[in-house]
Amino acid sequence: MSTVYMLLARGFEESEAIVPADLLKRAGANVVLVATEGGLAVTGSHGITVTADITIEEIRKEDAACIVLPGGLPGTTLLGENPMVLSLIEYAASRGIYIAAICAAPSILGKMRLLDGRNAAVYPSFAESLEYANITGKKVEHDDIFITAEGMGVAFEFGFKLVEVMFGSQAVEEIKNSVRFN
């Protein structure tokens, strides 16, 4: 089964993590919530605490099919400063593993120069971090192994794009019908 690692740092944007995680689980993905600092309890930017499944030290890189970086502050900053997170992103990029980031989180990929020359979406105030990317103005962008999105308001679209790239458009339509999205 495909393992999706959802990286959670203190101050993550709750909807940007939980909505895509839910949609991916409905499609059949093995979604693993990963605490990137301290214990398993991670409090989001709006005070909602989530219990992660594992800590970052427990990740099995070889099982990764996708790495997801939710935005939020200070979550994005903490992810971007964490050497284990950056190492995992580099590992995924070098092996063609999907890397998805929403809201402020694409700024991490931009600073790592992974989005250079690629189409991307990002929360507008973080666009300067994607200096060498092509910010298209679309809500969600998929370019090669990178899936990026503008922010919490497109959490469903972001999640559906992840389902599509991993399981196909039929899976997306089935989930949309089952959750009454249409």
Torsion of CA 50, 67, 145, 95, to 10 degrees: 180
Q: Is the full-model pTM beyond 0.95? A: yes
SS3 106: helix
Q: Which residues are catalytic?
A: 103
Query: Going by DSSP bridges, is the β-strand pair 98-102/64-69 parallel, antiparallel, or unpaired?
Result: parallel
Q: Which two tokens stand for residue 74?
A: 């200070």
Q: pLDDT tens digits, residue range 149-169?
A: 999 999 999 999 999 999 999
Reported confidence tier of residue 94, pLDDT bands at 50, 70, 90: very high
Q: pLDDT tens digits, residue range 77-89?
A: 999 999 999 999 9
Q: pLDDT tens digits, residue range 110-133?
A: 999 999 999 999 999 999 999 999
Domains of the chain from N-terminus onward: 3-175 (3.40.50.880)
